[in-house]
Amino acid sequence: MFSIGTVSISNRIIAAPMAGITDKANRIIARSFGCGMTCSEMISDMGLIYGQKKTQHIADTSGESKPVSIQIFGSDPEKIAQGAVIVEEMGADIIDINMGCPTPKIIKNGEGSALMLDLPRSRDIIRSIVKAVRVPVTVKMRRGWEDGSTTCLELAAIAEQEGAKAVTLHARSRMQFYSGQADWALIKELKKNSSIPVIGNGDIWSADDAVRMLEETGCDAVMIGRAAMGNPFIFREAAELVEKGNRIQPPTFDERIHTAIRHLDLACSFKGEAVAVREMRKHFSWYIKGRSGAAKIRLLINTAQSRDQLIQAIGARHKY
């Protein structure tokens, strides 16, 4: 158990925000396997301000196990604070500011990791959101722009001074995107320099990695992203190992199939069958990764047009 401001989190395993992946259905599945907190996909402040239906849909956390952190992005201190007020009213338990996204579409607007090149603006953004909302505000960042950069140390100090209640460090630079390795030594350094909780992130691929990051860096919690794609079981494995020292067996084939279908049915209920089937194809491919004949199954998954075809494609042994 640890806390971010006034929000208690039942364990030190957090599901990372991932655009196009961590929607409501995904978060419900992740929580059901025991992560302590989930995060929304990144949400545009302007989309919130204009009341865009799609944006509102992404920000909706009704009916989910709490806490859920809602992540927003933007570059204008006043506008992003307006967006923060909207997601607070919609029920966000924590508001996270995206200062790490490396994609050109975001960078060109001065958003995401571009903010690591403009610390005065980053300070204004954090300050104006903290002033505007009552829920805890957190900042998710990379190490900096260039390889080897340590801008995160300055940005985390700014975040703390401005009243942020935790920081998450994905210890890669913007220029690295997802290549190379996350520099866990930098997470350790950041933790040494911070009085607010530090969440370590980057390259946790197993429960053992989660334990190792906590031990090696002293961070307060770990955040798991890519390893959970089609593998929400990692949350159960990591939570059990970190909190109780228990080593859990990997899921059986039947449990994988059952979970994929539960995930699909949740997606259908939130988005309708047509959209859900299209979006769930990638998840189904991840759920069956490593199975014998996976390439052939993937072909069937990618041509499935309905819920039942998708289920048939992965060779479910029972009727669902």
Ligand X SMILES: Cc1cc2nc3c(=O)[nH]c(=O)nc-3n(C[C@H](O)[C@H](O)[C@H](O)COP(=O)(O)O)c2cc1C
Which spans of this chain sit near ligand X (rule: CB under 6 A)? Answer: 16-21, 41-42, 71, 98, 100-101, 140, 170, 201-204, 224-227
Show the tokens assigned to 124: 């204004």
Q: In angstroms, what is the minimal distance from the CB of 38 to ligand X?
A: 12
Q: In angstroms, what is the minimal distance from the CB of 81 to ligand X?
A: 19
Q: Which is the catalytic residue, given 101, 152, 219, 268?
A: 101
- CB-neighbour burial class of residue 157 (10 A; exposed 0-12, middle 13-18, buried 19+): middle
Q: At what angle do helices 253-271 and 273-287 cross, to 10 degrees?
A: 160
Q: In angstroms, what is the minimal distance from the CB of 213 to ligand X?
A: 10
Catalytic site includes residue 35 = no
**Residue 187 vs 311, nearer CB to ligand X:** 187
**Residue 278 vs 296, nearer CB to ligand X:** 278
**Residue 238 vs 276, nearer CB to ligand X:** 238
Which segments of 245-272 does DSSP mark as H helices, in order?
253-271
CA distance 18 to 231: 14
Q: In angstroms, what is the minimal distance from the CB of 318 to ligand X?
A: 31
Phi then psi dihedrals of residue 59, to 5 deg: -85, -5
Q: In angstroms, what is the minimal distance from the CB of 162 to ligand X?
A: 19
**Residue nearest ligand X, CB atom distance:** 225
**Other residues' Cβ atoms within 10 Å of the Cβ of residue 149:** 17
Q: In angstroms, what is the minimal distance from the CB of 185 to ligand X?
A: 16
**Residue 166 vs 257, nearer CB to ligand X:** 166
Q: Shortest CA distance to 96 belongs to which of 195, 32, 14?
A: 14
CA distance 39 to 221: 14
**Residue 183 vs 273, nearer CB to ligand X:** 183
- Contact between 88 and 95 under an 8 Å Cβ cutoff? The reply is yes
Beta strands in the chain, from DSSP E residues, in sequence order: 2-4, 7-9, 13-15, 38-44, 68-73, 94-99, 137-144, 166-173, 198-201, 221-224
- Contact between 141 and 12 under an 8 Å Cβ cutoff? The reply is no
**Residue 122 vs 201, nearer CB to ligand X:** 201
Helix/strand/coil for 137? strand
Which segments of 95-175 does DSSP mark as H helices, in order?
104-107, 119-132, 151-161
Which residue numbers are catalytic? 101
